[in-house]
Structure 1
């Protein structure tokens, strides 16, 4: 046993009845070795000197402060000299340094396990970083693709609006031309005023073809009246006036577009619609028109002359009190526009999947579909024209304006597939998109329709049906 004590006098050893104390002064510290009475004093002195030498080297001098702060280091050094059975070994400083530098089997196993844990943690961190990087790239790609699809939908919607505006301008120009012609014929065509017959309910809506026939009859009768006698002329005029006073023209148009812009995207649907009205008499210019509560979340836009409160509250189309009201004549004026876009497969009437494949010298693609409701004249169009070989097709096809897969009328739950090959090394998968889906429906896709037309002069409701046009 080795003690460190502070002492004011110097001796070599102290011998008692059973033990002896061998000590050596080091500055103001004494290192004491306790041995049995029968031990060799010379060997004990050498061991003590060796202990002091090693401690001085490892602690850079033996002081009370260093002894208190480096207890474990001192314990390791002493344990190299003194065994647990009470014997001591005579070692040199180099022997002790070598023994202290050696590692036990348990230490080596511990350090190996620690190193393995560090390597595993490093690999896990790298794997996680790779996953996060891949997820970030995938998210950026999806956002980029989504932005591309949204831009395409917006462009399609703007194109539809432009076409509608052009149609309205043409209709207004035609109406102005007809109005000028009628002004010229006023001297020869006499029309007496009349009103709507309220004694019975009538349908006050007719289609565009009937309107054209009525207008043509007016023009033809005007030219013939100059050659006919006055009684026949007056009879013809009365008949024409009856047609105009008993009818209201309602024109409902919807443009529906469904496209798929890449193999990983879903089908996107774009819809734009409008409702126009004209009346035959000034008494009908403020007639309320009730439309149904449609299910789709349509974005509606009313004409500034229409009553917004009545529409938002009860879905009633009626001009404001101080507004001019509906157009009088054969050309309807626009009352309301609506639009709708969706990439949600659940809201689409058909699900289309594309499976493109790039080979060394050709491209191939398989297209499959599944309908969710009954569709008429279903067609799927791929924007490729040349070097097309159709390997299999459920239906017919033509390649005049792109590869058009003509499926026809299908029931709800119908499925089908077409496979084709492109022998062109310059084409890539993106050249086969966008894929367009066109179809006809038996009613407006938005579900919007006329419920009721109610005369404002008396408490009489006139039930009516609606003719409409849906353009793919």
Structure 2
């Protein structure tokens, strides 16, 4: 017996999968397969049909034919036995649909090759064919192990480098502790001025002030203009702190000397507290309750300096931390605003149908508890994302208008906070050119909205950008909240606490 070709053909005559086993031209094989539908008569019970040169042995299978093309000298009984074995090969395809068969064409061809070799049937079973097709290469497995080892080594090197960088930052911070560097040295390193709500026009020395009636719009300021300050009375920042906005520029050496001289004369001076570089990303206290759930949204916003919104992206997560493994047999019921712009995605092990129908986050396997002792941010149960082109969704808008007039550059800044959030720990950082003197702050006012203006020597207006903003809030765009904890094994639900925060990851005016 010699099998010339094997094919899976639709009833319309289209060859879905075909394999040639002997040396014949492609045109010859295509001609034999194209002639097959014309040779099948209706109502016939035969499973083969012959022509002058070849024999077609076939088997109908739903809407397709499994076809062998052999020479006329082959044994018909062997042909039928081979056909029966090949009829079980399509189990490598999910179904006998034409689209699915074409999708698994390579798997079927590999199976044909295991059954027929050089036109002759191999002595194999279906189980052996399956085993041969699933066999993996030892060299490939070894290559993957070597590649993974290299990846792990690279990660270890990255961790060591990161630790070295962190240590150098800590040592550098210790050297700088006890006072600020001079304004000139800070400017030469590309220092960034920070805005604060504690500038007093007649004094120019900051006090810890807030934005929005104690909401924490923290913007500190220090200026070098003390000539107009009267002596013999407390600083104006002590009795009536200004709810406005200023700049953090850093103290120059001359300013420090002047402050020391004022203190020696008995003047009451209120020193400001230097804010952290990114107050919106302060480390959270470790959990103390048996179950802690954290709702966090990270805000990425890019505003255009000429007005308008370039990018607005909110990415949120709901994380779970459990102290004791016995408290892991729970489900979490949540509440959220029905905003169609927010797209939710659950953890792969979460029951998606339960979440979609009842807003409950539970494991697919009720007998499998949530893991305890999660370090860092905990186990992420739910993620969501919101993008918008609507400028009204921005919590804080900043407008900066630098202009050069004569030998001075006037920089006017307007800010306005939205009423949707109570912003806290707000820091607005404005880049400055290299200066020998502190900027002269001419005007500052406002609480939820306001403005300020400062003057520096002539400079290119582009040096005042990008302006970076950092803040936090205790409410989110999704209004995601944990409503209840449902125990799965009866009894009282474990005590739980939840943390809700909105922080800025990247918030700039460019």
TM-score range, shorter chain: 0.3 to 0.5
Q: TM-score, normalised by structure 2?
A: 0.37
Of Structure 1 and Structure 2, the greater helix share is in: 1
- Structure with the larger RCO, 1 or 2 (CA within 8 Å, 6+ apart): 2
Q: TM-score, normalised by structure 1?
A: 0.39
